[in-house]
Amino acid sequence: MALCPTELVKCRLQAMHEMEAAGKVAKGQRSTVWSVVKTVLRTNGPLGFYQGLTSTIVREIPGYFCFFGAYEMCRTTFAHHMDTDKDGIGILPLMFSGGFGGACLWLVVYPIDCVKSRIQVYSLAGRQEGFMKTFLGIIRTEGKFRICIVN
């Protein structure tokens, strides 16, 4: 519940920065966190911060499952090969385990994160298509598998 509003503001700020760099909006009108927050509140009210909530949940649950699963598997493997318990593996194996867990998290969540970010940016223009429609639109226009999905 805390992550979705911050993600929404971050995605909109990134989109505004990219649009300004591409010359699609006037330069000089600096967007700030506060200006995005005020715009969301003015146009959609407090619930406007939860555009993309379903996608955020769909991203977080499998992502953290993979993170903690990979992290614990890695720690257990190090402990087994070092003949110690998981708490005694040392800092470098612990850091490697965390990095491996993080890599597994992003490997799983990156496609979902892409859809979530699109939903949050599209909501800036009033376009709400939902998760599956946005996902299929990305595959259709940008994905390598568009032949399989599009008639």
Residue in the structure block whose two tokens are 């619930």: 47
- So what's the pLDDT on residue 51? 86
- So what's the pLDDT on residue 151? 34
- Cβ within 8 Å of residue 125, ≥6 positions away: none
CATH number for the domain including 95? Answer: 1.50.40.10
Tokens of 64: 């953290």
- So what's the pLDDT on residue 139? 84
- So what's the pLDDT on residue 150? 37
Give the pLDDT confidence of 77-133 residue by residue, as tens digits: 999 999 999 999 999 999 999 999 999 999 998 888 888 888 888 776 777 778 888
| pLDDT higher than 90, residue 134 | no
What is the C-alpha to C-alpha distance for residues 92 and 88, in angstroms, rounded to an integer? 11
Per-residue burial over 63-82, b = 16 or more CB atoms within 10 Å of its CB, e = otherwise = beebbeebbeebbeebbeee
**Directed axis angle between helix 53-82 and helix 91-122, to 10°?**
170
What is the C-alpha to C-alpha distance for residues 8 and 51, in angstroms, rounded to an integer? 7
Q: Is the pTM of this model over 0.75?
A: no
Looking at the structure of the chain, the number of domains it has is 1
Tokens of 27: 């330069």
Q: Which residues span the domain enclosing 38?
A: 3-149
